């Protein structure tokens, strides 16, 4: 399934440099477009824009935020929803700058779309009730307005193969062959394994490695040296050598990963508030004014149609009355 998927064909990159290049280009494109826009309207542009590495730290922070959103649901969302949400989120920001669309709102939108795709059925009202303690109509409006945009940015490639399914397959295999492998109860290692996957979701692993390799790296971390016996069973020597190398790469990426500090995120958020596109910020006055203008235009259109129908009905009644007077 994965080997013939759009994920493998379009969303799996050869190396991390390719991801850095794509995201850096988005950063540069936004900065140049913003400067041109301010110059065209004879306005003073922002004093400074986010740098690539600052955007990256913010994306890491909000990748974790997606996990926090998903944990609010009752009943809990399946792991596949979390994995799909994060994949959508990372894909979106391969062609869009953080300064264009704030990752906070995009986190909610990606979770909402993932719920739909993975058939965790919730209406937009139910979704908002789950993730917010108090009503937030502007975020709800943002989700409704930008769902199509997200689909377009994803090129409508909605099926995501997450590492959770192959993980369960490997766990079943470990239990079936536990006597030969020497691992009595693989479930003992589940918590540590799943924590590795959660940490892995903060990296770019989903854009660099097949889900089966990520699952194997998680099991290798969770179980330790005993897992080497299992690895030797699932491939010949040339294949095994390549597989072990990939597992080590994933493991090193996660183990050496550093989550940004609160001070770093606060600084970046403050800087972002000065250079963000306010047209896409549901917390801005400009966004509110635009949405209110949309509502007013819809209301005017609705009243116009109502008046047209009323006029048609009035004309029909007048014609009917004329016909009746003639017949009398």
Q: Kindly state whether residues 229 and 197 are assigned to the same domain.
A: yes
Predicted confidence (pLDDT) per residue in 38-96, tens digit: 888 888 889 899 999 999 999 999 999 999 999 999 888 999 999 999 999 999 999 99
Q: Kindly state whether residues 20 and 153 are assigned to the same domain.
A: yes
Taking a C-beta distance cutoff of 8 angstroms, is the pair 208, 15 a contact? yes
* Structural domain boundaries enclosing 217: 164-255
pLDDT (0 to 100) of residue 323: 63
pLDDT (0 to 100) of residue 189: 94
Q: Kindly state whether residues 92 and 214 are assigned to the same domain.
A: no
Per-position b or e across 250-269, b if 16+ CB within 10 A of its CB: bbebbeeeeebeeeebeebe
pLDDT (0 to 100) of residue 280: 84
Q: Kindly state whether residues 218 and 230 are assigned to the same domain.
A: yes
Q: Kindly state whether residues 77 and 200 are assigned to the same domain.
A: no
pLDDT (0 to 100) of residue 327: 60
Indicate whether 93 belongs to any domain. yes
pLDDT (0 to 100) of residue 76: 87
Helix then strand then coil, in percent of the chain rounded to 5, is 75, 0, 25
pLDDT (0 to 100) of residue 305: 75
Q: 121: domain CATH number?
A: 1.10.472.10
Taking a C-beta distance cutoff of 8 angstroms, is the pair 197, 167 a contact? yes
What's the total number of domains in the chain? 2
Query: pLDDT under 70 in the chain at which residues?
Result: 235, 286, 288-300, 302, 310, 320-328
Q: Give 188's DSSP letter.
A: G
pLDDT (0 to 100) of residue 241: 86
| Dist CA 163 CA 161 (whole Å) | 7
Q: Kindly state whether residues 34 and 138 are assigned to the same domain.
A: yes
pTM of the model: 0.86
Q: Kindly state whether residues 117 and 181 are assigned to the same domain.
A: no
pLDDT (0 to 100) of residue 152: 97
């Amino acid at each position: 399934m994965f080997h013939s998927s759009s994920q493998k064909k379009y969303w799996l990159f050869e190396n991390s440099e390719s991801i850095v290049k794509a995201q850096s280009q988005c950063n540069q494109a936004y900065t140049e477009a913003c400067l041109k826009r301010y110059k065209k309207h004879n306005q003073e542009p922002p004093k400074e824009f986010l740098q690539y590495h600052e955007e990256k730290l913010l994306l890491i922070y909000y990748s974790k935020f997606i996990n926090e959103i998903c944990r609010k649901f009752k009943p809990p969302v399946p792991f596949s929803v979390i994995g799909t949400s994060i994949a959508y989120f990372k894909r979106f920001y391969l062609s869009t700058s953080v300064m264009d669309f704030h990752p906070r709102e995009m986190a909610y939108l990606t979770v909402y779309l993932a719920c739909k795709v993975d058939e965790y059925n919730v209406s937009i009202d139910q979704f908002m009730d789950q993730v917010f303690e108090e009503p937030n109509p502007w975020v709800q409006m943002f989700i409704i307005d930008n769902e199509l945009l997200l689909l377009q940015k994803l090129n409508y490639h909605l099926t995501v193969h997450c590492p959770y399914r192959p993980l369960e397959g490997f766990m079943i295999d470990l239990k079936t062959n536990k006597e030969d492998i020497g691992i009595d109860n693989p479930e003992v290692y589940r918590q540590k394994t799943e924590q590795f996957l959660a940490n892995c979701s903060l990296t770019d692993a989903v854009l660099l490695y097949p889900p089966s390799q990520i699952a194997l790296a998680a099991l290798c971390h969770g179980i330790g040296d005993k897992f080497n016996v299992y690895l030797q069973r699932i491939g010949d020597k040339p294949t095994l050598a390549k597989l072990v190398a990939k597992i080590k790469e994933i493991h090193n990426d996660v183990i050496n990963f550093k989550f940004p500090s609160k001070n770093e995120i606060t600084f970046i958020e403050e800087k972002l508030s000065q250079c963000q596109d306010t047209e896409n910020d549901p917390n801005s006055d400009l966004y509110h004014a635009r949405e209110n203008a949309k509502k007013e235009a819809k209301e005017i259109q609705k009243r116009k149609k109502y008046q047209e129908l009323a006029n048609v009905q009035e004309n029909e009644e007048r014609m009917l009355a004329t016909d009746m007077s003639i017949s009398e």
